[in-house]
Amino acid sequence: MTDQHPNAPQQLPTHHDPVREALWKVRTEVGKAVVGQDATVTGLLIALLSRGHVLLEGVPGVAKTLLVRTLSAALSLDTKRVQFTPDLMPGDVTGSLIYDAHSSEFTFRQGPVFTNILLADEINRTPPKTQASLLEAMEERQVSVDGVSRKLPDEFIVAATQNPVEYEGTYPLPEAQLDRFLLKLTMPLPQRNEEIEVVRRHSLGFDPRDLAAAGVRAVAGPKELQQAREGVARVAIAPEVIAYIVDLVRATRAAPSFQLGVSPRGATALLNTSRSWAWLSGRDFVTPDDVKALTLPALRHRVALRPEAEMDGVKADDVLSSILATVPVPR
């Protein structure tokens, strides 16, 4: 599912399935508010089906926040937004104990993390201590305050946005946290015709704060997501395709341009997302093309370039693409 790439998932499945069709309709609903981000929407759907978190990267103004809000509305899911700033404290995200003068007791006040889709806006503008406050929520789907663990909702993912790391005032996310994100999706600036459509909609009175006025409606919900996940669990993956995933991951560890390759967690992420994409495509088995399509989004944030490679202008996507071109594909 290489974002904005010729092999990005765009086609509708041919096999009739009401649940699958409902999830594909989500893209149409999001398109009523967001122009030209079909591949990113599909990546978010794959993350929801795989119960994983997503890192959205793009310059300010490419509709990262609007996309997440619209997706939540189309799926009838609750969403809360946290603007990550340098002075944000961990309790501002997870919740904290508040003293009640009437009862003379401390009570827990839930933070915004208690939701279905947490929009962590500009996550790399807050110091590492607050970034780390999300780790337990992302990995364990619970938060612990004063020694008490509190479960998060069943439908819970983090959709974090970040500006490119070279922007002023950003803190690079530590490797341990990056590895918790299932996918990293890049949102480029729109093409000329797409940007014309964005401006045209605004000229006609489009208000990004009023999604209902834009005609966005719920076309699926938690029930459909659960049924879809049951379908994904039945998707078969042949031993040779599993071996192909492992070979791709191991190749990242041997790549001269990388000082850090992909861990086994990355291999399972590629497996799970390939399964979800196969199901969305209307198949009950994973093909090598499914694996290829998800390799960049699933692995690009799990590698680290050597300083000399960065100085030469090498990008992680370039190295991963060369690995895809050289690792033998099972027949």
User: Do 25 and 172 belong together in one domain?
Assistant: yes
Which residue, 213, 290, 302, 204, is CA-closest to 253? 302
Give me the half-sphere count of Cα atoms (radius 13 Å) on the Cβ side of residue 61: 5
Location of structure tokens 């509190």? 150
Residues 187-245 have pLDDT tens digits of 888 889 999 999 999 999 888 888 888 889 999 999 999 999 999 999 999 999 999 99
Domain closes at, from 231, 252, 282: 231
Q: Could you tell me if 79 and 227 lie in one domain?
A: yes
Both 288 and 160 in a single domain?
Answer: no
Measured between alpha carbons, how far is 237 from 253 in angstroms, rounded to an integer?
A: 24
Q: Please write the tens of the pLDDT for every residue from 12-38.
A: 444 578 999 999 999 889 988 988 888
pLDDT at 122: 86
Output the pLDDT for position 104.
76
User: Residue 96's pLDDT is what?
Assistant: 85
The answer to whether residues 30 and 93 belong to one domain is yes
Boundary residue ending a domain (165, 198, 231) = 231
Beta bridge partners of 121: 83
Question: Range of 37's domain?
Answer: 1-231
The ranges of the chain with pLDDT < 70 are: 1-15, 164-170
Clarify whether residues 43 and 184 are in a common domain.
Answer: yes
Which residue pairs, CB below 8 angstroms and at least 24 apart, start in 240-243? 240/330, 241/274, 241/286, 241/287, 241/288, 241/291, 241/330, 242/271, 243/330
Number of compact structural domains in the chain = 2
Residue 119 shares a structural domain with residue 183: yes
Does residue 164 share a domain with residue 15?
yes
Assign residue 296 the CATH number of its domain.
1.10.8.80
Give how far Cα 328 sits from Cα of 6, 114, 248, Å. 21, 44, 9
b/e burial code for range 105-118 (CB count within 10 A of at least 16 → b): eeeeeebbbbbbbb
Does 133 lie in the same domain as 34? Answer: yes
Q: Are residues 220 and 293 in the same domain?
A: no
**Dist CA 160 CA 306 (whole Å):** 25
Asked if residue 245 and residue 206 are part of one domain, the reply reads: no
pTM of the model: 0.88
